[in-house]
Chain A
Amino acid sequence: MLFNSFEYLLFLPTVFLLYWFVFNKQIKWQNLLLLVVSYVFYGWWDWRFLSLIVFSSIIDFYCGIYINKSKSEQLKKRWLILSMLVNLGFLGVFKYFNFFSKSLEEALHSVGYQIDTLTLNIILPVGISFYTFQTMSYTIDVYRNKLKPTKDPVAFFAFVSFFPQLVAGPIERATNLLPQFYKKRTFDYNQATDGLRQILWGLFKKIVIADNCAIIVNQIFDNYTDYNASTLIIGAIFFAFQIYGDFSGYSDIAIGTSRLFGFNLMQNFAFPYFSRDIAEFWRRWHISLSTWFRDYVYIPLGGSRGGISMKIRNTFIIFIVSGFWHGANWTFIIWGALNAIYFLPLLLLNKNRTNTNVVAENKTIIGFKELFQVILTFGLTTMAWIFFRAPNITYAIDYISKIFNKSAFHAPQVTLKPFVFIIILIIIEWLQRDKKHALAFSDSKISKPLRWVLYYTLIIIIFWFGAEKQEFIYFQF
C-alpha cells in the first residue's frame, strides 16, 4: 500500500479509530491490532513475501531468548550467527544472488573462461533491506547486553513489521522502538497534530517535488545523449531533489503516522542539503542507516581509533557497504566509494566534526563562506547522485563527461518548472532548519486561522501541481 494512495487514505483513519476506540483497553490488544494491520499493509503488495517477515521475526525472537539464556560466550555467538545468517541469507538470495552470479560470469569471461552461471528468476521483496536491518539490530543489541530479550511475541512481531516504517524506514533500533510497544500509549493532541503536519509536508515533498522532478529526470536520463550540458546539469540537480523529496518525504509520513499512534521514531533527515561538508551531510542524510552502519559495522571494525591505514580501510568499508545496501549494482558501490573519497580528507585532517551546529545559526541570511561551503557540498553530492541514478558505470561516466563542455552555458532544453517548487521547499526548510521537520511549530506561535490557511494552501498546491503518482524510489532497496 502506498502512502500516497486512496487505499491508505481509508486505511489510516480506520486503523486510527480502531486503535484508540476499540483496542484501547489493553496494550496487548493495541499491539495485536498493529501487527495485523501491518501485515495487511505489507500484504497489499504481495502477500507471499509476508512469510519472509514472519520467518525472520520467529528466528530473531527465539535467537534473542537463547542468546540471553546461553551461559557460554560461544553459544551466545552461535545464536547470533544464526540470526545473521537467516537475515543476510534472505538479502543474499533475494537481492544479491543474481549480481554475484553475473559478476562471476563476467569476471571469468574476461580471463577467457566461458561459464553459464545460475540466475534466479525472483523479484525483490519490498522493504527487505529495511526490516532485516531493523530485526538484526535486536539480536545484536541482545548479544551486546544492551537490551533484554522480549518474551512478548506480539510486541516483537509488531516491532519488526510496524507498518509506518516497514518498507522504507527509518530503520529503527530495537533499543528505541521495542520498549515503546511495552508502555501504555496515551493520545497526545499536540503530538498527533504535529504528526499530521509532518505527514502533510512529506506529501508535499513526495507529490510536488519528487514526482515533478521525476518526469524531467526520466526524460533527461533516458535520452542524455540528445541534450546539452546545461540540461544534463539540470537533470542531476533535479535528481538530487527528487531523491530527497521522495525519501525524506516517505520518512516524514512514516514518522508523522507513528506519532498518531503514540510512537516516536528517530529523525531520518535533518535538512541535509544545508550541510557545509560531506561529514555533516552524512550526519543529516538517512540518519537511521548511517548510524546503523556506524554502530554495527564501523565501530566494531575499530572506527577511527587506529592509524591512518585503518581509518582509510574502515571508511571505505562503511561507505561501500552502505552503497551496496542500496542495490546490487556496481553503480551503488562507486557511489559509496566516491562518498568515502569525499569524506576521507575531513577525517584524516580531523575536520569531520567541524560543522555540528545548524548552518547560519541564529541568523536568517547565510554568510558568503557558509553559502560557498553549502553549494560545494551540494555539488559534490549531486555529482555522486549521477552514479546512483545511472544504470551502469559507463553511462554515468559518459553523462558526467558530457557536462563539462561549452554547452553548459547554453539554455537548458527542458522546462525548469520544478525549480519553482524547489525554491518553496528551500525557503520553508531554511526557515525551519533547526526544527525536527519543516512544519514543526508551536500552536501558540501562529493563530489557528493562519495555520489552517497554510495547511489548505499546501493541500491545494499538492492537488494543483502534483504530478502523476510514482512509487517511492527506496521501495526498490
Chain B
Amino acid sequence: MAKFIKYSILFALGIGLVISIGLMLPNNNAIRSVDYSIIAKHKNLQNAKSPKLILTGGSNVLFGFNSKIISDNLHIPVINHSIHAGYGLKYIIEDVIPFAKAGDIIVLSPEYSHFIGTNYLGKEPLLFSLTAKPENLKLISINQIFNVAEFIPKFSFDRMKSFINNLVKGSIAELDYSKDYGEFSINEFGDHYTHWNKKPTELKIYNFNGEVNIDVIRFLEEKNQELKNKGVKLIISYPSLCLSTYSLNEATINNIHKHLLSSSLSVIDTPLDYSFKDSLFYDSSYHLTGAGVIKRSVKLSTQLNAKIND
C-alpha cells in the first residue's frame, strides 16, 4: 500500500507540475483577449465623476450598447463594465461594487443562464479574468474556487496550445485592431464596437432550460442592500436575446421573470422588451449587431429616463 500511495502522489505531482507550467506561461498573443479590457474599464470607472451610470452583466451588455447614446440622453457619464457572462454574476457584481459611489446607478443585465445551476459562481472564463487582473483573486470565494477548479487543467493546456501556436506561427507580428474579442475592440465607454459595421456571422441558438437557482435571487437581494447602504441604485434590466432562443427557453425565462418580480429587486422591463428578431444579432443569441445596439440603447435610455424621473 505504501508503494502505491508513494507512486500515486509522485504521479499526481507530475501532472500538477505540467498544469502549473501551463498556468505560468506568458501571454504572447499579439493582441490580448477582451478579458484584458478590464484594466481600461477599471480606469474609466475610477476616473468618471458621480453620479454615473454603470452598465454591467455578461457579453449581452458588452455587445449590447452604445453608451454614448445613453449618456447623451441621460446627461451623465456612462461606463460599460461588462465583459463575459462566464465570469459569473457574483464576480461581475463584486468587481464593480468598489467603484460605485453614492448617487451612481448600476444597470445589471444578467444572462438568463446565470439563474440556472451554479453558473452564477463562474465557469472557465473566470480564470481568464483572473489572469488579466490577478489582484481580483481576493474576490473569489471557496464556492467559486470549487466551481471553476475543474477548468484549471483545460485552461492550462489551452494556454500551452496558444503559447506554442504563437511561437510557431509568429503571430506577434500580426496586429489587427479591427478584430473582435480583442483588448482593443472596446471604445472609450467600454462598449465592444469593432463589430458594429460588420455583417452578422452564424447565429448560435442556446438551450439553457433548467431549474432556477433561488440562491441567485437571494444573492442579488443581498448585493442590492449593500449598494443601497452605499447610496447606489441597482436596476435589473433584461438581456437582449434573439427570438429563436427566447422561444426555445420561454418557460425558463418566464420562471426567472416571476422570481425577479417577487423579489425586492427593482426590475425595469420585461424579457420580451429586449427579445429582438434574429437578424439583429451578430454571432450569438445575446450579441447585437450595430443596428441592434442602437435599438437597445435608445430603448433603455427611454426606460431609464422614465424611471429616474419617476
Interface residues of A (CB under 8 A from B): 5-6, 9, 20, 187, 189, 192-193, 196, 452, 455-456, 459-460, 463-464, 466
Contacts and interface: CB of A to CB of B under 8 A. Distances in A.
B11 A452 contact: yes
A341 B33 CA distance: 56
B116 to A, nearest CB: 15
Interface in B129-176: 146, 149-150, 153-154, 156-157, 160-161
A6 B150 contact: yes
Interface string B1-29: 10110011001001100100000000000
Contacts, number: 33
Contacts of B160: 464
Interface of B, secondary structure class, is helix
A464 B4 contact: no
A465 to B, nearest CB: 9
Interface residues of B, number: 18
Given A187-B1, A187-B4, A192-B4, A463 B153 contact: yes
B14 A20 contact: no
A187 B156 CA distance: 35
B22 to A, nearest CB: 9
What 10 A-B pairs come out closest when comparing CB atoms?
A6-B150, A463-B157, A187-B1, A6-B149, A463-B153, A464-B157, A189-B4, A192-B4, A189-B3, A459-B15
Given A187-B1, A452-B14, 8 more contacts: A452-B11, A455-B11, A456-B18, A459-B15, A460-B157, A463-B154, A464-B160, A466-B154
A193 B4 CA distance: 8
Given A5-B150, A455-B11, A460 B18 contact: yes
Nearest to A187: B1
Interface string B199-216: 000000000000000000
Interface string B204-236: 000000000000000000000000000000000
A456 B14 contact: yes
Contacts of B14: 452, 456
Contacts of B161: 464
Contacts of A192: 4
Nearest to A469: B150
A459 B14 CA distance: 11
A192 B149 CA distance: 27
8 contacts: A5-B150, A6-B146, A187-B4, A189-B3, A192-B4, A456-B14, A460-B18, A463-B157
Contacts of A466: 154
B19 to A, nearest CB: 8
A466 B150 CA distance: 13
A61 to B, nearest CB: 33
